[in-house]
Amino acid sequence: MASSLTVCTSTRHLPEWSLASPQPIANEPDARDQRIAELEAENARLRTIRDALITRVESSGAHKPAPYAAFEHSVVLAEQVRERTEALNLAMAELKSSNRALIAAREDAETASQRLIDAIESIVDGFVLFDHRHRVVLTNSRFRSYWADNGEAIRPGVAIADMKRLAVETGLVVEEQRDSQSGGVVYRLANGRWVQVSERPTREGGLVILYSDITDVKNTEDERRERALAEKSRLLQSTVDNLSQGVVLVNEAGMPEIWNDRFVSLTGLSPGDVKQDRRIDALMALSEIPLLTPESVDEAGDPCHAMEHRAQDGQVLEIRTHPMADGRYVNTYTDITERYRYAETLRESERWIRVVTDHVPALIAYVGADLTVQFCNKVYEAWYGDGRQSLLGRHLEDVHTPELYDRLMPHMQDALAGNNVTFEFEESNARGQQRYMLRSYVPNRGSDGSVIGFFVLIRDITDRRRTALALQQAYDNLEQRVKERTAALTGLNNKLRQEISERAVIEARLRDAKMEAERANLSKTKFLAAVSHDLLQPLNAARLFTSALMEQSFGPRAEGLVRSVSTSLDDVENLLGTLVDISKLDAGVIKPDVNPFDLRDLLNNIAREFRQMATAEGIDLHFVPSSAVVESDSQLLARILRNFLTNAIRYTGAGRILLGCRRKRHSVMLEVWDTGPGIPADKLTEIFQEFKRIRPAGAPQDKGLGLGLAIVDKIARMLDHRITVHSVEGKGSMFAVEVPLGQLRPDQQPSDASALVSPHSLDGSRVWVIDNDRSICDGMRTLLEGWGCEVVTAVSVDDLDAQLDIADSPVDLILADYHLDYDENGVDAVAAIHARRDDAVPVVMITANYTNELKQHIRGLGYHLINKPVKPLKLRSVLNHLLLGRRTFVGR
């Protein structure tokens, strides 16, 4: 019994911590609270069981149970208490572990929350978090900075609608824009900054809004748009400047906004007159060109948007106005002088055709494929017309009666099918006149071979028909009359046959005339080639002899005579060269060879050439060099500049001449200025016509033909270069040609043409001359030997072979004429010489042929080309260059 009591006592006095309920942890989740409540209920139940057991034990002792049973019962109770105690201890351990996990989770949550707040604070964008009711939960300092003056208004719990309303009422938001690319909204704030709003929903139904500062992006975009607009304006101005038309854009206030140089030149205005702050009506009052606006009306009061104006100098301009939707308008000015003259020529030709056809005793017309009358003579008009309305443009169904139209339709369809149709029958016109007509339809074919209409020729054969009918009626009764009528009919038939024969003869003559014209055109081309070679041959020989004579020492009188002969030869050469050039340009023989090249050599050579001429005339020639690279034909461009300088020297008398360049964006203006007498304004276009010369009053007669500027105009048109002329009477003139800029290829290197030729640089040089003209050979020998060369001349390769050993004889250079006898040429002759030698000898090919094909062929062979007549200074420069390079190469 004592043992049982001891056990009960020990059970009753268990430690307090094992039975006490765990202390609640602040901020525990509901699940933990529920678990603690369950454990406390379980602990209370265990205490109740314990108390009941103790009470039962104590009460059983009072009734004095059996000792063994009491002991057994206490042992059982002790075991149950021990098991319950262990279970309770395990639950307390789990509870402590859970408490520690909760504390760690709370610390992690606090750390994560702080990190989230730090991250939100670290971003450069404004941040706002809204709950599922769209009320403010959390903001960062960047967002609150936007509300610096109204920070108290934006606090947790504020609705998003109220926040937007406050932004507008407080003036925080000045402007709102929709971003079409991102689909968001962009706001401009009161401080001038731009923010872009991005919204993202949360999983709980809330909303996250970011306010990104895009001021720099917005400014960059505005700058890019401004640059793009400026680039578009530049491209627009460049496009307008390169138009062949004159263009001016007038704004709604009547002020010019955009114009080009062509507008200024065509209207005759000064460049300084055209300003953006000057009204277009006041500007055009300074010009003889009338002002045309969208409000202009013609004499009948109808709107007038196009007109033609003929200037006092004969120039014809087409003026058009184009209104725009915003109140602005564009005027275009087109020079249609050539088209106007061509139209006048066509009208004159048409007038003569009509005069001829109107006096032919036959009905003549032309009908298009749509069966409308496009041409008819007076006889046709008088027969089918009613005198009130012209037949031109009317359909044949309206011209003829329905019966006649139906009768003619099969024949017209046959003509439109491409067949020649001839038929005859009787018909009546609208006035009841009845005649018998012989009709012929001749189809007219277009360039593609299809029939585009047919010619109508109708002859009145009523008398012939009546005669035939009368003969037929009198045949049976009046044999004599039949014979007479038969004779008359025979006569008529003979006349008809004669007429047919005459028409056949005329047709044959037309074919012969066409063939003759083709032969004449071919003869013209051959004549040009013959002139280029045969006429320049004696001139070339004479120049060689005079050049050789000028290098000899004679008396003053003889030297004067030689210079006079040389000057006369220059005049003949210039006149003949000018006539040949103008003929070649008209015949299309000369073709441009456009390549990029450096202007340095071209301008230096021309300046050196004309400085001597200017000095001889007492004129001061100034030259501004340039190394610009242009895209053109160097020889044709040089011809333009030479004609400019020749005219400047010819008309200046005494004064100054300036040769120089003016760079533009995509081109170079080669300009020649002089201080001559100037050109009247009404003569500026006339000077480019053939055989037209503007000579000031009292000026001496010159030897020119008035073809220099005509050649310039033809060459410029061929090269597509623009010619500009400015002149002031009594002060001088400026002629310029605009050449596009180019770029040298890698294999092209600028050369230095400024090196002077040494007087003794050609001494001892061995030169072979091949020319079929003995006088040319003699003149070339005299000239070259005067320069110290050892010369061998021959009229052919066989002649040269007879004089020396072609294979082994030393030679430094070969001068060969391209045109030789017996259909041979200098290229074949040089090839035959090179075939027999081991070394390649430098070659200079001389010719009067200016075609590009020959020029390219000679260049492709590596030869140097000189055109006739040969200028001694140029020849010596070329020989010095080639021989100096050969000596350097062979170490001579």
pLDDT in tens, 109-128: 778 777 777 777 777 788 88
Residue 374 is predicted with a pLDDT of 87
44 has a pLDDT exceeding 90: no
**Which tokens in the block code for residue 400?**
């003829």
pLDDT at 23 over 90: no
Residues 6+ apart with CB under 8 A from 112: none
**Confidence band, pLDDT 50/70/90 cuts, at residue 28:** very low
Let me know if residue 556 belongs to a domain: no
Most trustworthy range by pLDDT among 560-569, 607-616, 849-858 = 607-616
Do the Cβ atoms of 711 and 687 come closer than 8 Å? no
Reported as type and span, the H/E element at residue 250 is strand 246-250
Give mean pLDDT, residues 311-331: 88
In whole angstroms, give the CA distance from residue 371 to residue 373: 7
Cα–Cα nearest to 252, from 326, 322, 330: 326
CA distances to 14, 167, 190, 486, 612 from 85, in Å:
9, 67, 73, 164, 135
Chosen domain end from 514, 531, 556: 514
- Residue 27 vs residue 582, higher pLDDT: 582
Q: What DSSP designation does 303 have?
A: B
Query: How far is CA 188 from its chain centroid?
Result: 42
CA 469 from chain centre, in angstroms, equals 74
Structure token pair of residue 371: 């069966």
Contact 485, 467 (CB under 8 A): yes
For the chain, what is the radius of gyration of the CA atoms? Answer: 56
Q: Which of 172-181, 336-345, 752-761 shows the highest mean pLDDT?
A: 336-345
What CATH number does the domain containing 858 carry?
Answer: 3.40.50.2300
Does 112 share its domain with 150?
no
Instruction: Return d(Cα 345, Cα 390) in angstroms, integer.
Output: 24
Q: How far is CA 773 from CA 285, 578, 818, 868, in A?
A: 67, 24, 12, 14
Region 140-149 average pLDDT: 76
**Position 779 in a domain:** yes
More confident residue, 55 or 362: 362
Q: For the chain, give the mean pLDDT.
A: 78
Measured CA to CA, the distance from residue 490 to residue 482 in angstroms comes to 12
Cα separation, 259 vs 257, whole angstroms: 7
Decide if 641 contacts 670 (C-beta within 8 A). Answer: yes
pLDDT in tens, 177-191: 776 655 578 888 877
User: Does one domain contain both 736 and 657?
Assistant: yes
Q: Give domain status of residue 750, yes or no.
A: no
Exposed, middle or buried: residue 771 (CB in 10 Å: 0-12, 13-18, 19+)?
Answer: buried
* pLDDT > 70? residue 480: no
Which residue is listed with tokens 């049982």?
Answer: 4
528 within domain boundaries: no
The verdict on 289 and 395 lying in the same domain is no
Residue 760 lies in a domain: no
Give pLDDT, residue 38: 83
Nearest to 211 by CA among 227, 193, 226, 192: 193
Could you tell me if 642 and 578 are in contact, meaning their C-beta atoms sit under 8 angstroms apart?
no
Q: Are 421 and 381 in a shared domain?
A: yes
Q: Could you tell me if 325 and 375 lie in one domain?
A: no
How many whole angstroms separate alpha carbon 63 and alpha carbon 94? Answer: 43
Give the pLDDT score at 24.
Answer: 40
User: Residue 892 and residue 877: Cα distance in Å, rounded?
Assistant: 19
Helix (H, G, I), strand (E, B) or coil at 663: strand
pLDDT at 740 over 90: yes
CA 803 to chain centre: 61
Same domain, 188 and 104: no
Q: Minimum mean pLDDT among 52-56, 499-503, 605-609: which range?
A: 52-56
CB 766 within 8 A of CB 888: no
Residue 773 lies in a domain: yes
Q: How many CB atoms lie within 10 A of CB 641?
A: 21
Question: Which of 102, 119, 136 is the C-terminal boundary of a domain?
Answer: 119
Instruction: Give the pLDDT score at 694.
Output: 60
In the chain, the number of structural domains is 6
Count of Cβ atoms closer than 10 Å to residue 383 Cβ: 18
Please report the pLDDT score of residue 268 as a whole number: 84
Alpha helices in 532-652 (DSSP H): 536-550, 556-587, 599-616, 634-652
Higher pLDDT, 88 or 579: 88
Query: Between helices 556-587 and 708-719, what is the axis angle to 10°?
Result: 40
What's the chain's length in residues? 892
State how far Cα 886 lies from the chain centre: 46
What's the confidence (pLDDT) of residue 3? 37
Question: Per-residue pLDDT for 270 more than 70?
Answer: yes
Give me the amino acid identity at 474: A
Domain membership flag for residue 229: no
- Within 10 angstroms of residue 867's Cβ, the number of other Cβ atoms is 18
Helix axes 774-786, 536-550, angle to 10 degrees: 20
- What average pLDDT does range 530-545 have in this prediction? 60
Banded pLDDT at 517 (limits 50, 70, 90): low
Give the per-residue pLDDT at 7: 35
Per-range mean pLDDT, top range of 458-467, 664-673, 770-779: 664-673
**Token output for 741:** 């800029």
Within 8 A by CB and 6+ apart from 205, the residues are: 131, 132
**Token pair for residue 624?**
């501004």
Interval 53-109: pLDDT, tens: 777 666 655 444 566 676 777 778 888 888 888 888 888 888 888 788 888 878 877
Q: Is residue 268 part of a domain?
A: yes
pLDDT at residue 250 greater than cutoff 60: yes
The answer, yes or no, to whether residue 641 has pLDDT greater than 60, is yes
Q: Are 291 and 280 in contact (CB under 8 A)?
A: yes
Identity of the amino acid at 653: G
89 shares its domain with 12 = yes
Work out the average pLDDT over 634-648. 86
Whether residue 102 sits in one domain with residue 127: no
- For the chain, how are helix, strand and coil distributed in percent, rounded to 5? 50, 20, 30
Range(s) of the domain holding residue 631:
591-740
By DSSP bridging, strand 843-847 and strand 864-867 are: parallel
Same domain, 436 and 356: yes
Q: What distance in Å separates the CA atoms of residue 538 and residue 380, rounded to the nearest whole number? A: 63
Question: What is the C-alpha to C-alpha distance for residues 204 and 208, in angstroms, rounded to an integer?
Answer: 11
Highest mean predicted confidence (pLDDT) among 293-302, 351-360, 561-570:
293-302
Q: Exposure of 711 by Cβ count < 10 A (0-12 exposed, 13-18 middle, 19+ buried)?
A: buried
Would you place residue 696 in the very low, low, confident or very high pLDDT band (cuts 50, 70, 90)? low
| Bridge partners for 130 per DSSP | 136, 207
Q: Please identify, among 119, 149, 183, the residue that sits at the C-terminal boundary of a domain.
A: 119
Could you give the CA distance from residue 568 to residue 427 in angstroms, rounded to a whole number?
A: 77
Report the CATH number that the domain containing residue 148 is assigned in CATH: 3.30.450.20
**pLDDT score at 320:** 92
Q: From residue 174, give the alpha-carbon distance in Å to each of 43, 166, 170, 188, 312.
A: 69, 12, 10, 6, 62
When mean pLDDT is compared over 215-219, 418-422, 817-821, the highest value belongs to: 418-422
CATH number for 614 = 3.30.565.10
Whether residue 812 contacts residue 842, with contact meaning beta carbons closer than 8 Å, is answered with: yes
Residue 85 to residue 47: CA distance in whole angstroms: 11
Residue 327 · residue 319 · CB < 8 Å: no
**H or E element in which residue 33 lies:** helix 30-62
Most confident stretch, 140-154, 514-528, 545-559, 800-814? 800-814
DSSP, collapsed to helix, strand or coil, labels residue 669 as strand
Contact 415, 432 (CB under 8 A): no
Residues 365-418: tens digit of each pLDDT: 899 999 999 888 888 888 888 777 888 888 988 888 888 889 899 999 999 999
Does residue 286 contact residue 269 with C-beta atoms inside 8 Å? yes
Residue 457, pLDDT > 70, answer yes
657 CB-contact burial (10 Å; exposed 0-12 / middle 13-18 / buried 19+): buried
Predicted confidence at residue 729, as pLDDT, reads 85
Please report, rounded to a whole number, the percentage of residues in the chain having pLDDT higher than 90: 10
Tell me: do 135 and 271 sit in the same domain. no
Q: Which residues of 436-456 are buried (b: 16+ CB within 10 A; e: fewer)?
A: bbbbbbebeeeeeeeeebbeb
Residues 6+ apart with CB under 8 A from 319: 289, 290, 292, 306, 307, 308, 309, 331, 332, 333
Domain match, 713 and 616 both: yes
Query: Does the pLDDT value for residue 647 go beyond 70?
Result: yes
My answer on whether 454 and 382 are in the same domain is: yes
Residue 587's pLDDT is 57
